[in-house]
Amino acid sequence: FFLQIVSLTQRLKGQNPISSKMPVTTSSYGQTPSGEEVTLYTLSNGTTTAKVITYGGNIISLQTPDRKGEVTDITLGYDSLDMWMDNPTFFGCLVGRVGNRVAKGKFTVEGKEYQLAQNNGDNHLHGGPTGFHKRNWAGSVSGEVVTLVYVSADMEEGYPGELTATVTYEVTPANELIITYKATTTKTTIVNLTNHSYFNLAGAGSGGTILDHEFESPCRAYVPVDDGCIPTGEVASVEGTPFDFRTKTAIGARNDSFANGYDHNLCVNRVGKSNTDLALVGTMSEPVSGRTLTVTTTEPGCQLYCAGFLDGSNVGREGKGYPRYGGFCLETQHYPDAVNQPSFKTYVLNPSDTYTSKTVFAFGIATEA
């Protein structure tokens, strides 16, 4: 894919060969109402360009070419810092301490029960109202890598322990966006970090849905949930269900099997993999533009969310409202509510341990049929 993209871009736009050593550029993105400086980092290899801000760790732009060499933004987002600070649907942000849901906002560690905010019906979602997506992280640059650090105070949003979270972003010569996560704590706590970017491979400003996008995934199981999107505790086979993407299938073929479309955790096939090995989640492709996105991760699960809760009222770049099913998320993570599900791999973090995670978003161009 990388060679196809480079040759197309060079032929159509006369670009020089991609440098593997393009420096990260740094600029101001404004200030928060409390006077905190928000920094914008631009990472690029000459073909793929990602823009990240310190507020919320948001990926505010991600530009890639289509098969004609035309470059456009493929992530949903906003034009201003004020809008990113509001961001009611979690576009592009880091979510934590715990991504996804915690049933009734309750969990117990070391015999003590903790109560979190119930900001999603009866449940806790994405770290709470002032989770990591509402924090201005400390940023730095080393070579082609951007590092963001946030120190979350003991009992912030109800979570025990002072947690130091470190997230890095890198765009590689192979048109990959690599995100790594690390966290340490002073008390036993829970942590499940992820990125919540919404993608539309036809272009974020296309105005269309992602129902014609096609997904192919080796995932053989999924996590059934109740009406509140809380796991039942089962891990079920995808065989004969709308979650079977082992053969490439359009999202729209079975998305209406659910009232709000896909919002479910797929179980990554990690057979034969160590905790630090990357495993394939799957490849999403858009047939007209030819753009593809392949996701690999060290995580055991990935939430496939197809933006069923967008309704056009969330106005993004250039004053355009994003429609229902206008984007998709592939949120790599531990299974939802794992702290309350004995059969799931835990995301409890002890002071003697370090939480680590890595996800690679690889962008390509599909060969025309």
Residues in the chain: 369
Q: Position of tokens 């039942």?
A: 232
Sign, CA torsion 125/127/133/135: positive
Ramachandran angles phi, psi of 133, nearest 5°:
-70, -10
Assess whether 331 carries a catalytic annotation.
yes
DSSP state, 17? Answer: P
The DSSP element (H or E) to which 5 belongs, if any, is helix 2-13
User: Other C-beta atoms within 10 Å of 274: how many?
Assistant: 8
Amino acid type, 201: L
Of 276, 284, 278, nearest to 304 by C-alpha is 284
Of 69, 58, 59, nearest to 11 by C-alpha is 69
Assess whether 264 carries a catalytic annotation.
no
Cis peptide bond upstream of 220, omega within 30 = no
How far apart are alpha carbons 77 and 179 in whole angstroms?
19
DSSP state, 206? Answer: S
Active-site option among 124, 126, 133, 196: 196
Active-site option among 144, 157, 170, 331: 331
Q: Give all strands of the β-sheet with 25-31 in edge-to-edge order.
A: 25-31, 37-44, 49-53, 59-65, 71-73
Sign, CA torsion 202/206/207/208: negative
* Rg, C-alpha atoms of the chain: 20
DSSP E strand boundaries for 242-352: 249-250, 263-267, 279-285, 291-297, 301-305, 329-333, 348-349
Do the beta carbons of residue 180 and residue 164 sit within 8 Å? no
> Distance of alpha carbon 12 from its chain centroid, rounded?
31
Annotated catalytic sites, by residue?
196, 331
